[in-house]
Structure 1
Amino acid sequence: MASSGFSNRKNFGIGGILISHIERQQPSPPTVIVIGGGISGISAARALYNASFKVILLESRNRLGGRVHTDYSFGCPVDMGASWLHGVCNENSLAPLIRSLGLRLYRTSGDNSVLYDHDLESYALFDKDGNQVPQQVVIKVGETFERILKETEKVRVEHATDMSLLQAISIVLDRNPHLRQEGLEYEVLQWYICRMEAWFAADADTISLQNWDQEHVLSGGHGLMVQGYHPVIQALAKDLDIRLNHRVKKISQRSNRVIITVENGNTFIADAAIITVPLGVLKANLIEFEPKLPEWKLSAISDLGVGNENKIALRFNSVFWPNVEVLGKVAQTSDACGYFLNLHKATGNPVLVYMVAGRFAYEIEKLSDEEAVNFVMSQLKKIIPDAMDPVQYLVSRWGTDPDSLGSYSCDLVGKPADLYERLCAPVENLYFAGEAASADHSGSVHGAYTSGIMAAGVCRRRLSVQHGMSDLFQLVMREEFAEAVVPLQISRM
């Protein structure tokens, strides 16, 4: 792996002398506990460490990364959680780090993809009899779906109260019979709805019409992390004080101090804490707060939705499927549709990843690994009757995993518009971060990353004032990642 580019905080020249002088004048640095070792927590801890704070990161799992999890058991990297960089551009907050590590991206869509992370031309869809849907039909229905979604904007303007996106689509089709699809085209439309549900990790009848398209999507399209996200996690975690298998059970605020109690009864005391656990964990009240969180914070936690998306990854001895990015099966209902991500196209490895979202993702979690794989193979054999059996498989269970209880946040019907802002707002010396605390980029890795850095910044400024620390530290801090002279490494086969 390429060098992470981290400074070891050595003294250099005049700046180093200035730091040494300041250190002699400063009181002992503030202490901060970061709870949660996903990318948000790691980025928060990294930022505070670079600002010379004393930081301890507590993570309940036996690994770092949280919902970013690269598995290597296939002999190649397979991301079983987050796998895309949404917005392959310099404006993406993760771009400098990805560049500095020399990581490659495989671009799966441009800016105008109807389903965000794949272009229309990248699909091979099949009907229930295993016949491939003509590509012109796939593209034509995709363009019609774009028009339908555009028409939902009129429905939103006309209705003061919120409704589900599925209800809005129904209204649009009632008003515009020419947009209705029949027969095979109808099944292809259901497949597009299935893909849309995967973007939100929620069913279309739960997605908010008011908010579904309000996310700030960065330019540059979307790219798969060819080497997985693990190198990013590894680089950010370098030199940090990380305690794995430390499940936090209680957070107490006492006289400008925070007392953190973990599952084995041990306690940690700090000046502040940054809480980056997944929204699903907060919603389940798995952590006790003393005193209880204020009502404005509790209602934000309650009203934000958590979607679920799971992956069943299959490794084969050889490739027997078409050279496209996505294999899909169309059906009469969106939940009966399905699709496989072809990692061979992006990485050269003989791996297919079946992806399910919403209620169906929870249904998959009720099955054993073997039962889930058997179901997925039955779907694959409807597309390719002579498909061979996999030699290895992996099954994610983000919805019932006690350390996640869901995949990522989503907007539910009829809820207030300020939920993300309230979720990330501090409660005295408790700070909150994570993908669900990112108003503009919720559900994304770069949103979680930025949220952690922002929470660390607010925490640092407040504690610096309270402890009488000089801001001169910030004048001489070295840049974490210098702008690389090489561009992002992007491929598209």
Structure 2
Amino acid sequence: MAPTMLSSNDSSSSSPTVLVVGAGISGLAAARMLHKAAFKVTVLESRDRIGGRIYTDFSFGFPVDMGASWLHGVCQDNPLASLIGRLRLPLYRTSGDDSVLYDHDLESYALFDTAGNQIPPQLVTRMGEVFEALLEETKKVREEFAQDMSLKQAFSIILKRRPDLRQEGLGHRVLQWYLCRLEGWFAADADKISLQNWDEEELLEGGHGLMVKGYWPVVFSLAEGLDIKLNHRVTKISRHPKGVRVAVENGKVFNADAIVVAAPLGVLQAKIINFEPQLPDWKVKAINELGVGNENKIAMLFDNVFWPNVEFLGVVASTTYECSYFLNLHKATGHPVLVYMPAGNLANDLEKLSESAAKNYAFSQLKKILPNASLPTKCLVSHWGSDVNSLGCYSYDAVGVSHGAYDRLRAPVDNLVFFAGEATSSSFPGTVHGAFATGVLAAAECRKTIEERCKDLELFQPAMAEEIELAIPLQISRL
């Protein structure tokens, strides 16, 4: 883990004060914007590190992202493009705009059956076309049924109507792998994903780029110079006419004019943070309705490369639960690392195992397709679902829930409590750039509210000029 280098914000005591809960990218973005506007900002973070669900591990001797690792939408319209470009961070593009699997395309992966036989490319391509046809047919089912249902139920209806899309034998197993990767995108099984809203997310142009050097430089750049207090788990947020009062698990108390809550959706659902008075019913409903998915990573470091020079390796099986998916970091970064990425119920089940057992399971999946695989020298295992600081990876549209829940979750309460995070982004949920954008938006709303409240006070003179961010082109490679 890279060292956290933070310094205090020495703003004037006369400046309005804002607390930010959570030092993930949304919380850091909000704090950075408010800090630039001459507010006195303090970030309260429950972990002993910054970054939240962005976590770049350095224990292999080089960066490996164990949380978020892609920039979804490699284009200048991405809210993170200017920052990543300014930091001159290289991206490795793993897909184009027409990626049927969202995070990678059809030209650089190899699929195998459980006996280690590679699937003929022609069959893989044909099943990709079947998969696309299935997704297209969901729109017809959605129009026909007024009541929402799961994607899995919709697929069942489609396959009954379209015998030409039904598959048996090896074709069925390949199609299950495609469905497995769709579940990986949402970090949830298809029986939990809403038919009505599964495609509501806006996909930016440019495909998807892997952060070659990890996301840590982005996090560090946003955090530098901010007053960030680590190991400060917020337990209570009280609202009163003049501001907020915040209690921390270690007994400390903080007072401020307003607060930005950038805690993960899983933490909000678990009611680790108590609100006084209680949040309004519409807010509580939004928090509880949205789904929280789980996707973990088991990174394996090897002495040598013994796998094909493709970006992704896959194991096809009769159910999505049995399918497997490995990201080949060697192709993008030059390091001999494979990352196993289970999602949904499988990710939850693996978290119930010991770390050693989870590593063994991941390696056993690799041995199925590469019988001569050598043992890894080191392994890293994430536990996003059971980590009390996250309790899941990111949000998804659950069955029967309006997509408007994202906007309701973002809406402020009493113009004192503002909300940010990927689960408050109706356009880009589950993404780093979505989380970042909501932090910027929450800061702007908070700033506007406080400035209107303080406009008659001579003590507060907001900053007149903002930093000008140049649009530096993104550094993209496809080796």
TM range (shorter): over 0.9
Hey, what's the Cα distance between the residues in 1 that align with 2:467 and 2:219? 20
Q: Which residue of 2 aligns with 1:483?
A: 471
> Which position in structure 2 is the counterpart of 1:62?
48
Decide whether the 8 Å contact of 2:298 with 2:381 is kept in 1: yes
For 1:353, the equivalent position in structure 2 comes to: 339
Of 269, 293, 300 in structure 2, the residue corresponding to residue 307 of structure 1 is 293
The ranges of structure 1 where at least 4 consecutive aligned residues each deviate by more than 4 angstroms after the TM superposition are 469-475
- State the Cα distance separating 1:257 from its structure 2 match: 1.4
CA deviation string 1:343-387 (max 9, x = no partner) = 001100000000000111110001111101111111111100010
Corresponding residue for 1:447?
434
Give the one of 413, 424, 436 matched to 1:437: 424
For residue 393 of structure 2, what is the amino acid of its counterpart?
A: S
Amino acid at match of 1:226: V
Over residues 229-274 of structure 1, what are the superposed CA-to-partner deviations in whole Å (9 max), with x where a residue is unaligned?
A: 0000000011100100000011111222111100111100000000
Matches of 2:328 and 2:401 in 1, distance apart? 37
Other-structure match for 2:254: 268
Q: Is 1:50–2:36 an aligned residue pair?
A: yes
Residue type at the aligned position of 1:464 = E
Distance, in Å, in 2 between the alignment partners of 1:386 and 1:483 is 48
Instruction: Measure how far apart 1:140 and its partner are.
Output: 1.0
> How many Å separate the matches in 1 of 2:64 and 2:312?
16
Residue 135 of structure 1, CA deviation:
1.1
| Deviation sequence 1:76-125 (CA, Å, 0-9, x none) | 11100000000000000000000000100000000111110110122200
Aligned to 1:381: 367
Partner of 1:460: 447
Q: Determine the structure 1 residue equivalent to 2:212.
A: 226
- The Cα of 1:416 is off from its aligned counterpart by 2.1
Is residue 398–residue 406 contact of structure 1 (8 Å, CA) maintained in 2?
A: yes
Residue 132 of structure 2 is aligned with which of 146, 154, 157?
146
1:191-230 superposed matches below 5 A: 191-230=177-216
State how far apart, in whole Å, the 2-side matches of 1:219 and 1:251 are: 39
Secondary structure of 2:297's match?
Answer: strand
1:441-477 residue CA offsets vs partner (Å, 9 max, x unmatched) = 0100000000000000000001011111799846422
Give the SS at the match of 1:417: coil
One-letter code aligned to 2:198: W
CA deviation profile, 1:412-460 (whole Å, cap 9, x unmatched): 1011231001000000100000000011001000000000000000000
- In structure 2, distance between residues paired with 1:97 and 1:332: 43
Deviation at 1:483, TM superposition (A): 2.4
Q: TM-score, normalised by structure 1?
A: 0.93
Do the aligned partners of 1:121 and 1:139 also contact (CA within 8 Å) in 2? no
C-alpha separation in 2, matches of 1:27 and 1:320:
60
User: Paired residue for 1:258, among 244, 269, 279?
Assistant: 244
Q: Identity over the aligned pairs, expressed in percent?
A: 60
Does residue 416 of structure 1 match 2:402?
yes
Aligned twin of 2:268: 282
The unaligned stretches of length 5 or more in structure 2 are 1-8
CA–CA distance in 2 between the matches of 1:177 and 1:233? 50
Corresponding letter in the other structure for 1:284: A
Question: How many Å separate the matches in 2 of 1:60 and 1:383?
Answer: 41
Please list, as runs of the form range in 1=range in 2, the aligned pairs for 1:467-478 lying within 5 A after superposition. 467-468=454-455, 473=462, 475-478=464-467
**Kept after mapping to 2: 8 A contact 1:27/1:467:** no
State the one-letter code of the partner of 1:478.
E
Task: Check whether the contact 1:109–1:117 (CA below 8 A) recurs between aligned residues.
Answer: yes
CA distance in 2, matches of 1:445, 1:417: 19
**Hey, what's the Cα distance between the residues in 2 that align with 1:212 and 1:430?**
29
How far, CA to CA, are the matches of 2:150 and 2:138 in structure 1? 11
Amino acid at match of 2:466: M
SS across alignment from 1:205: helix
Match of 2:354 in 1: 368
Q: Look up the match of 2:6.
A: none
In structure 2, the residue corresponding to 1:345 is in which secondary structure?
Answer: helix
Q: Is the 8 A contact 2:38 2:463 kept in 1?
A: no
- SS of corresponding position for 2:190: coil
For 2:21, which of 23, 35, 38 is the aligned residue?
35
Q: Normalising to structure 2: TM-score of the pair?
A: 0.96
Separation in 1, partners of 2:155, 2:42: 48
Judge which range, 248-257 or 331-340, deviates more: 248-257
Q: Residues of 1 paired with 2:125 and 2:245: CA distance?
A: 57
Question: Which residue, 104, 107, 115 being the options, matches 2:93?
Answer: 107
Of residues 119-128 and 421-430 in structure 1, the stretch that sits farther from structure 2 once superposed is 119-128
Partner Cα separation in structure 2 for residue 382 and residue 110 of structure 1: 30
CA contact (8 A) 2:13 2:40 kept: no
Q: Summarize deviations over 1:128-168 as a string: whole Å, max 9, x none.
A: 11000011111110111001110110000000000001111
Number of residue pairs matched?
467
Give the whole-Å Cα distance in 1 for the aligned partners of 2:321 and 2:85.
38
Select 2:223's aligned residue among 237, 258, 283.
Answer: 237
- In structure 2, the residue matched to 1:400 is 386
Q: Which amino acid aligns with 1:174?
A: K
**Deviation of the 1:334 alpha carbon:** 0.6
Q: Secondary structure at the match of 1:314?
A: strand
- Tell me, what secondary structure is at the counterpart of 2:476? strand
For the residue of structure 2 that corresponds to 1:33, the secondary structure is strand
SS across alignment from 1:120: coil
